[in-house]
Amino acid sequence: MASASANDLHLVPLGAGDLIDRAVRLYRRHLLTLMRIAAPPVVVSAIGWVMWTIGIREVANTPSTGALVSYVLLLIGAIAVILIGKLLSLIVMGGASRNLVMHLLWNEPVLARTTYAAVKSRFWGLLGASVLVMFWLIAASFLGFIGAELIVGLMAVMIFAVSSVAPGWLLFIIGVIGAMVVIVVFCWLFFFMVGKVAYIPQVLLVEGKGVFESLSRSFALAKGNARRVMAMTFFITFATYSALMVLVIPLGWYGYLNGIDPSPWSAAQWPVWYAIGYGIMEPLSSILLAPVWMLGMSLLYVDERVRHEGYDIELMASQKLPEMPQIDVTSPLSPALAVGPKRLPLQKPVPANILGLR
């Protein structure tokens, strides 16, 4: 059976493992640049977490009503800042998609200024798309919880029905199987919904479409991608928390040597400096891993077009042939990289291998 290599992606569609492998290799090649791209929104979120840590510690200890109101307002502001940081992260990831796809097509350099120029060129469209994606994620979570609750209810009825005659070990096995079914149902419903909007930023920046056009286009491309989106999400989640542990453990040892109990159950007794340091570890770990998500989704977008539209033929033609003349002909397919007024100019450096991987 044929296997995908770095140079024959256009011949063999990528599985979840291939996507993760290529995303990690590209990440290693452009580590510092990708961290600079991801850092500004994460810094905003980190500021929000600092505000939250201070407010939540002081709101229960302040003796005066005026100070209590101030700390409550601080908590509200912290929530707003954290949400703004998450929203900015979605916007920046969308802006990075154009630079990354340009790199995958023609080996265009991956630069922070190119990414933020793309963000500036389509900021309001990216903002609308990011808000739409956030609400869609909430709806997907709600749908997943409804499906999980239905399974929990059915399992509870089943266990109640047999509890008087079944041995304890059988009830335990039924409970374990039920828990696994609940997790599977939730994940399937959630990622089935999330996969439908996975390509909105790429369509917006790469194909130059509007927000709602990008939504319908993402629906059209997202056929059978739930498992690969799920695999990417689990990998990023596991890697992020691994990085978080690498950051938290040294802080915990330092606190322990200074007489602080680092267990989360003693958080109320932590000094302010330790609580703030602990609170910003999660945003800092996402600086390290958010670029892998950017790369993975850009690779997945290109692969979907290879699968559904023969995108590899257009990529090879765009690399080997001169630029097509501007004639008044409407194509049923979207171009490799849209250009036009209010969009970034298209530059074609020295051609590279498909997806720029060696």
pLDDT digits (tens, 9 = 90+) for 279-321: 788 777 777 777 887 788 888 887 887 777 766 666 666 556 5
The per-residue pLDDT for range 146-163, each reduced to its tens digit, is 988 888 888 888 877 777
The counts of H helices and E strands in the chain are: 12, 0
What are the pLDDT digits (tens) for 22-78? 888 888 888 888 888 888 888 888 888 888 888 887 777 777 777 788 888 888 999
Q: Do 37 and 96 form a contact (C-beta atoms < 8 A)?
A: yes
Q: Give residue 119's region: left, alpha or beta (phi > 0; psi -120 to 50).
A: alpha
| Closest-CA residue to 87 (of 42, 120, 55, 33) | 42
Q: Is the pTM of this model over 0.85?
A: no
Q: pLDDT class for 343, splitting at 50, 70, 90? A: very low
Cβ(122)–Cβ(95) under 8 Å?
Answer: yes
Residue 21: CB atoms within 10 A of its CB come to: 16
Determine the average pLDDT of the residues in 334-343: 48
pLDDT at 355: 44
